[in-house]
Structure 1
Amino acid sequence: MGAKGEETRARLVRATRALMEAQGYSGTGLNQVLAESGAPRGSLYFHFPAGKDQLVGQALAEAGREVGELIGSLSGSPAGMVRDLLDTLGDRMEQSGYTKGCPLATVALEVSASNEPLRRLCADAYADWQRALAELLVREGRDPAGADASAGTVLALLEGALLLARVQRSRTPLDRAARAAELLLA
């Protein structure tokens, strides 16, 4: 595939990511993805012959990798790393007018009981994030079992805070989560 084809494919995935995060799986139609991306209809089925689920799967996988890389890039104290992660995601949420939060959560909640391949993709991304958080904690001197348990708790805290912040249109839940992470990770 040439550079033009790769750019068209990337535009389709970017548009899908943005729309799915804000509107969910059912709220996002392929016509809307095409309009948002500026891609011709034929390109959609050329790049994603299996249709919407294949496109959404690619968008979720890319979003999952992006957050995993963000987690892996953090440094400092464990509590400081969690605060930095919450600040980064909070800035992103605020800049979007609270239409964005966790890039997986909107779709994950919607498809978890009805679409096994997409549910599995979300579960795998969350597991990768937990592993990345645990690796940061191990790097900072925690034992692996304790690090994994703490990472799971931090991930749950982070996801809940993002949901509450989005619903309340306020960073207050993120600030509270950061303070709770400080206590947990002290």
Structure 2
Amino acid sequence: MGQKGAETRARLLDATQELMEGGGYFGAGLNQVIAASGAPRGSLYFHFPGGKDQLVGESVRRAGRAIGEALEDLAGSGASDAEFVGAVLRQLGDRLEASDWRKGCPVATVALETAATNDALQAACSEVYQSWEAALRARLAARPDADDLAVTILALVEGALLLARAHRSRDPLDRVARRIDALLA
């Protein structure tokens, strides 16, 4: 694929992610994606012959990789485990607040809307969550309960993001950071 094709594909994925994060799977209609991306309709079907589910699945995976890379960057910072998780919560909180409370988790809304009815999207969401668990588990590997802690921390972070978005407040993120700090002490 040439550079122009790659740029068009990237614009379609960017637009899909933006729409999904704000309105979920059902808020990312193909007409909205085309309008937001500025790409011709034919380009959408050329790059994503599997239609909306392929587009959304790839967008979820792409967003998941971006968050995963941020986790890995923070994990290598030399901070304590609690400082690492606090930094993750701050970064996600900054992202959420800067988006006017629209960009919580790039996976959660799609997972909630489609996991019971769409096997392909359920698999994409599961893959992303598993990769995040693995990143947390790797960071916490020195602890005997790293597997349980990774799932617990991910669940707390996801819940805090949901509550922060619902309340339009960082308070749930701050409270969860304090509880995780105590958990990891």
Where on the TM-score scale, by shorter chain, does this alignment land: which range?
over 0.9
Cα deviation, 1:133-179, whole Å, max 9, x if unaligned, reads 010011xx323xx1111111000000000000000000000000100
Q: Name the SS for the 1:26 alignment partner.
A: helix
Q: Name the SS for the 1:184 alignment partner.
A: helix
Cα deviation, 1:106-145, whole Å, max 9, x if unaligned, reads 111000111011011101111110110010011xx323xx
Structure 1: tracts of 5 or more residues without a match: none
Aligned twin of 2:69? 69
Q: What is the rounded CA distance, in whole Å, between the counterparts of 1:124 and 1:54 in structure 2?
A: 15
Cα deviation, 1:62-96, whole Å, max 9, x if unaligned, reads 01111111111113111111111111111110011
Cα deviation, 1:13-59, whole Å, max 9, x if unaligned, reads 00000101110111221010011011111100010011100100110
Aligned twin of 2:156? 157
Structure 1 runs (4+) greater than 3 angstroms displaced: none
Aligned twin of 1:177? 176
- 2:98 matched to 1:95? yes
Q: What is the rounded CA distance, in whole Å, between the counterparts of 2:162 and 2:95 in structure 1?
A: 13
Identical columns (%): 59
Aligned twin of 1:168? 167
Aligned twin of 2:136? 133
Instruction: Look up the equivalent residue of 1:157 and give its one-letter code.
Output: L
Instruction: Look up the equivalent residue of 1:102 and give its one-letter code.
Output: C
Q: What is the rounded CA distance, in whole Å, between the counterparts of 2:73 and 2:184 in structure 1?
A: 19
The number of aligned residues is 182
- 2:105 matched to 1:107? no
Superposed CA RMSD: 0.8
Q: Name the SS for the 2:25 alignment partner.
A: coil
Q: What is the rounded CA distance, in whole Å, between the counterparts of 2:137 and 2:179 in structure 1?
A: 17
